Amino acid sequence: MRSPSEIETCHITFIPDNIIAEAAVGDNLLKVAVDHGIHIDATCGGAGVCGKCRVEVQGDYRLSEADYLHEDEQEAGVLACRCEVLGDCTVTVPEATRVTGTLPSRSEGSTRRVRLTGLDADARVHECGVSPLLTKQCVTVEPPAADVGSTDRFRLAAALEKQGVPLRGSLIDIELMRRMPTVLREQDGQVTATLSAQRDDAICGGLPLLVNLETGDTSEKLYAVAFDIGTTSVWAQWLDLKAGTVLAEAADYNDQIRFGADVINRILACKKEGGLSRVRQAVVDTMNRLLEQMAEQCGLPLTSLAYAVAAGNTTMSHILLEVDPRHIQLAPHVPVTRFFPPVKAATLGLSLDSQAPLFSIPNVSAWVGGDIVAGALVAGFTDDDPMTLYIDLGTNGEIVVGNKEFLMSASCSAGPAFEGGGIKHGVRAMKGAIEDFHLNGPDAEPMVLTIGQARANGICGSGLINTVAALFLAGVLQPNGKYIAPDGIRRLRETEDGLEYVLVEAANSAGGQDITLTEVDVENLLRAKAAVFAGITTLMSEVGMDPSMFDQVLIAGSFGQSLDVERAITIGLLPDLPLDRFRFIGNGSLAGARLTAQCMDGFRWSEALAHRITYIDLGVNPRFMDDYVAGMFLPHTAGHLFPAVTELLRRQKDG
């Protein structure tokens, strides 16, 4: 992971618009152009197939291979979609490549896409300080003597007591008793004890004071691992708790995906004979893979990890600890517990030392889990003044609203649309997925951009939002989510199920077939965004407030990262607020897990937060259903909730 300060930047000057764009070294030129409102023809998603994005470039750049080859390639410039900028460049966009007209934007006069500031998790973690959940103390025990009471345990306790750690009277885990005779004799009595920071505290409750025992002096090394156990992906960071830094990071899809994409299917898989054990093993396998990758990156043994902290949604937490999640699925959705005890990670099958504990960040309810608690914690609004909306978008759009005065949460069953599910050509956010979309002028010709600039293979969640917003603003989609009459719009066509818009034609797609957006797809997106927005309005109404009162909106999750906030507001997913009130949190769950691993107070706060955050069950809330139905329009039935979007539409109509 590179921190923002480590990224080298360069300047790209676009001619003839004379727009100077700041870009990162290695950025794709087409993306830089799109992000800065420079419209360049591109109908293949940036896959180097259609050959339409030809520009002239002077400066430091590198070209990757293109499928599209033109005889007079050298003379005619380069394909922007194949060009990676390596330093300052000047780019001349020829007349043939430029498109006329600009997308409507609230940013008066400017076409530049708004980049939101992200949360600096590093800074937040350092702000909280480094005070690990477990500490180490190196001592040298006296050699055995024939004195009364001169047991190994006594010698260790005496040595620790000299260092101000009163072990006497504490029960010692039988496993450590078993280790003692060897460990105490290997390096002339020099041993390092891992101690729980606060014996009777909620954090380490249930943990004995003495957690581990190693030969020699390892007290200068203290490592832990932080996990974000997502339904789709698992992220991990190897933390150096002495330096307060991240030594390695790894991520991979959760192996549980083979049991189903969402938590409901995972729970169903757990209900089968031996299912819980199998589903659990899958995530453990994933975690072990990440552990090994990180160990290799760090050049450190897995046994050097003193403990692990895991944040996950309630179902993931249950499954990881092999606690039956079935009653989460069934009404009234009762988890076994919200708070988990520290568990020896090795008993779960994790490749840590047999004594190293795994701490779980507590959950709020069946549908608001430790991942949200962790994210809210690291976002830092829960003890501050600004009225905040914290939102993590996915199959379940989990939201937390409030500030230091109150905190409420809900989970909006958004359905899988944000993850490309239930959409005719929906795909996950992977290479080839359409993630950006623009319309070129009055004939509604599209410009699509795919992840990794590959031939398009479908549309992902953020692409869906961007596409619907663009089609809506261009007047191709009506407020009710239906297309206008297709007259004169080549890309719109009739099917048995209604109209559909051709995003990418067969010739340019990866699969050799048209990639389209149907009216059913749009309806599914409307359901999803209506559920989330209704969740927001319902929570705010509980305290007599409305969404205009948010001082800030924090967007978490990897989906959030790729979200075009302006367009998300346009479709009515996010509240219509000035863009400077929005911030990306990134993987709040992972950052929160890191924070709690590194900072005892952090863990304590997570416990307090799980208690403080009130859960509102939208499924039984009458207000929610009303708001949901009202949200099934673009941007919303109640136009006054989206004043800027309404004004934009009015201006556009007038203009």
What does the binding site for its own copies look like in residue numbers (CB under 8 A)? 144-146, 148-155, 169-174, 177-178, 180-182, 202, 205-206, 208, 321-324, 326-327, 331-343, 365, 614-615, 617, 620
- Shortest distance, CB of residue 152 to its own copies, whole angstroms? 5
| Sign of the alpha-carbon torsion through 338, 342, 344, 346 | positive
Alpha helices (runs of H) in 192-299, residue ranges in sequence order:
263-271, 275-298
172: closest CA among 355, 359, 358?
A: 355
- Shortest distance, CB of residue 538 to its own copies, whole angstroms? 15
From CA 293, how far away is CA 300, in angstroms rounded? Answer: 11
C-beta of 96 vs 171, nearer to its own copies = 171
Output Rg (C-alpha) for the chain, integer angstroms. 28
- Shortest distance, CB of residue 326 to its own copies, whole angstroms? 7
C-beta of 264 vs 638, nearer to its own copies = 264
- ∠ CA(128), CA(132), CA(133), 5° rounding? 115
- Shortest distance, CB of residue 115 to its own copies, whole angstroms? 38
- Shortest distance, CB of residue 370 to its own copies, whole angstroms? 14
Give the contacts of 98 (CB within 8 A, at least 6 positions apart): 39, 40, 41
Q: Is residue 516 within 8 Å of 486, Cβ to Cβ?
A: no
- Shortest distance, CB of residue 219 to its own copies, whole angstroms? 23
- Which DSSP string do the residues of 516-536 spell out, in sequence order? EEEHHHHHHHHHHHHHHHHHH
C-beta of 615 vs 642, nearer to its own copies = 615
Q: Which long-range contacts (CB under 8 A, 24 or more apart) does 601-604 make?
A: 601/128, 601/129, 601/131, 602/128, 602/377, 603/133, 603/203, 603/309, 603/359, 603/361, 604/201, 604/202, 604/203
Query: Is beta strand 134-140 parallel, antiparallel or unpaired with respect to 190-196?
Result: antiparallel
Q: 165 vs 196, 306, 307, 400, 454, CA distance in Å?
A: 11, 19, 20, 41, 60
- Shortest distance, CB of residue 87 to its own copies, whole angstroms? 55
Query: Is beta strand 54-63 parallel, antiparallel or unpaired with respect to 83-92?
Result: antiparallel
C-beta of 157 vs 565, nearer to its own copies = 157
C-beta of 427 vs 600, nearer to its own copies = 600
Q: 13 vs 40, 53, 655, CA distance in Å?
A: 15, 16, 30
From CA 298, how far away is CA 410, in angstroms rounded? Answer: 39
3-state secondary structure (DSSP) of residue 73:
coil
- Shortest distance, CB of residue 180 to its own copies, whole angstroms? 5
C-beta of 46 vs 342, nearer to its own copies = 342
509: closest CA among 47, 68, 52?
A: 47
Side by side, the strands of the sheet bearing 445-450 are 445-450, 433-440, 458-459
- Shortest distance, CB of residue 171 to its own copies, whole angstroms? 3
- Shortest distance, CB of residue 324 to its own copies, whole angstroms? 5
C-beta of 242 vs 333, nearer to its own copies = 333
- Shortest distance, CB of residue 149 to its own copies, whole angstroms? 7
C-beta of 63 vs 331, nearer to its own copies = 331
302: closest CA among 346, 265, 365, 252?
A: 346
- Shortest distance, CB of residue 154 to its own copies, whole angstroms? 8
C-beta of 150 vs 637, nearer to its own copies = 150
| Identity of residue 644 | A
Please, what's the b/e burial string for 36-54 (b: 16 or more CB within 10 A of its CB; e: otherwise)?
Answer: bbbbbbbbbbbbbbbbbbb
C-beta of 112 vs 327, nearer to its own copies = 327
Q: 361 vs 72, 294, 307, 341, 593, CA distance in Å?
A: 60, 22, 13, 10, 7
C-beta of 345 vs 563, nearer to its own copies = 345
C-beta of 164 vs 169, nearer to its own copies = 169
